[in-house]
Amino acid sequence: MIVNAKSRKGQKLFKRACAAMKGLPYEVDARAIEDPDDLEAAVKDVLANKPDLVILGGGDGTVSGLVDLLVGHDVVLGVLPLGTANSFSRTLGIPLTVEGAVEVIRAGHRRRIDLGMIDGDYFANCAAMGISPQIAETVPHGLKKVLGKIGYLSWAGYQFGRFKPFTLHVDDGTTKRKMKVVEVRISNGPYHGGTWLVDEASVSSGEIVVQAVRGHYKRKLVQNWFASFFGLPQRHHDTISFSGKEIRVDTEPRLPISIDGEVLAKTPIVARIAAGVIEVMAPPAPATSPA
């Protein structure tokens, strides 16, 4: 078990996870990693011992950033949702408590799922273009730590004032489209930021989904967020989705892309699906769409 224990909360949750793991019918090598830069080396070290199960504890960014290392190994992924949104766990139906997630691991049900890809990099859940990566790319280092959530939200509000709609080019192999948009979501699952956004996306569909929120004015994005948060049918009024094994995406101007919360790419890109490429411990029933 490898836990991203950068924060005080992460360290506390690591202790809870260790306590919950004591009842498992096998020994768990538990490691709390306080420096995120050391996470990759820790996973590689664990994989060198050829384990049957690797449990990753952290947020969507932690899981997505490390899942590449598991592909190609005969190993099952276990997930402890220790982040804020935990979209990947929501998609899989994994309880959002440490104890609940450990119970899923104890039950031992395996589920083979897809991963998304941006060019050659795997990701677990969702990538985005628009205001989210703009905030992530520009937020001053340490702002949230010093001023807390209020400081981060103030910066997000400042960036929203500077944000402008952009032009999207999509090529799904059969159709090419050009449109003015306020946000683009590249999804392997329906949740983004902890909210159900992309009905068509599933971790077992064998297709990647590109969903665009159309609009010439950024108020369209606020309206879509509001409708999506409350599960209103209006959330579909300004969206259009493209599905396929491989979709080419470009923007005017060129824009950064956040992948499960981390800015890791820039347009143009090719979004792909890696069908059934990994096994996870998850409840047998898939997550269902809210009414």
40-84 pLDDT, tens digit per residue, is: 999 999 999 999 999 999 988 899 999 999 999 999 999 999 888
Task: Fill in the DSSP letter of residue 39.
Answer: H
**In this predicted model, which residue has the larger pLDDT, 221 or 203?**
203
| Residue 201 contacts residue 189 (beta carbons within 8 Å) | yes
- 60 near 125, Cβ under 8 Å? yes
Given a cut of 60, whether residue 290 has pLDDT beyond it is: no
Residue bearing the bigger pLDDT, 232 or 6: 232
Predicted confidence band of residue 94 (pLDDT cuts 50, 70, 90): very high
Report which of residues 151 and 281 the model is more confident about. Answer: 281
Tell me, yes or no, whether 95 and 203 share the same domain. Answer: no
Q: What is the pLDDT of residue 36?
A: 86
95 located within any domain:
yes
CATH number at residue 143: 2.60.200.40
The answer to whether residue 116 sits within a structural domain is no
- As a whole number of Å, the CA-based R_g of the chain is 19
Please report, to the nearest 10 degrees, the dihedral formed by the alpha carbons of residues 88, 128, 221, 196 taken in order.
-10
For the chain, the domain total comes to 2
Average pLDDT along the chain:
88
CATH code (residue 49): 3.40.50.10330
Query: With pLDDT > 70 as the criterion, what percentage of the chain qualifies?
Result: 91
Co-location of 230 and 260 in the same domain: yes
The range of the structural domain enclosing residue 243 comes to 126-275
**What is the Cα–Cα distance from 115 to 207, expressed in whole angstroms?**
10
Residue 131 sits in the same domain as residue 97: no
pLDDT digits (tens, 9 = 90+) for 155-180: 677 777 888 999 999 999 888 999 99
| Residue at 9 is within a domain | yes
Residue 291 has pLDDT above 70, yes or no: no
Check if the beta carbon of residue 125 is closer than 8 Å to that of residue 64: yes
- Tell me the per-residue pLDDT of 205-237, one tens digit each, with 9 for 90 and over: 999 999 999 999 888 888 888 888 888 888 888
Residue 120 lies in a domain: no
Say yes or no to pLDDT of 145 above 80.
Answer: no
> Do 157 and 241 reside in the same domain of the chain?
yes
201 with 97, same domain: the answer is no
- pTM (global) more than 0.95: no
Pair 75, 99: CB distance under 8 Å:
no
Residue 287: the pLDDT is: 45
Do 209 and 132 lie in one domain? The reply is yes
- The reported pLDDT for the residue numbered 262 is 83
Strand partners, 213: 183, 239
**Is 289 among the domain residues?**
no
Q: Name the residue with higher pLDDT: 26 or 146.
A: 26
Does the structure show a pLDDT above 90 at 117?
A: yes
pLDDT score, position 236: 87
Same domain, residue pair 59 and 138: no
> What is the C-alpha separation between 112 and 277, in angstroms, rounded?
7
- Lookup: tokens for 36: 């995120």
Position 241 confidence tier, pLDDT thresholds 50, 70, 90:
very high
pLDDT at 21 (0 to 100): 87
The 10 Å Cβ neighbour count of residue 47 is: 15
Looking at the domain assignment, is residue 113 inside a domain?
Answer: no
Q: Based on the domain organization, do 131 and 104 belong to the same domain? A: no
137, pLDDT greater than 50: yes
- Does 149 lie in the same domain as 11? no
Residue 118 maps to a domain: no
- How many C-beta atoms lie closer than 10 Å to residue 113's C-beta? 24
- Could you say which of 49, 74, 108 is where a domain stops? 108
pLDDT of residue 144: 56
Q: What is the pLDDT of residues 262-281, one digit of tens each?
A: 888 999 999 999 999 999 99
> Domain for residue 85, yes or no?
yes
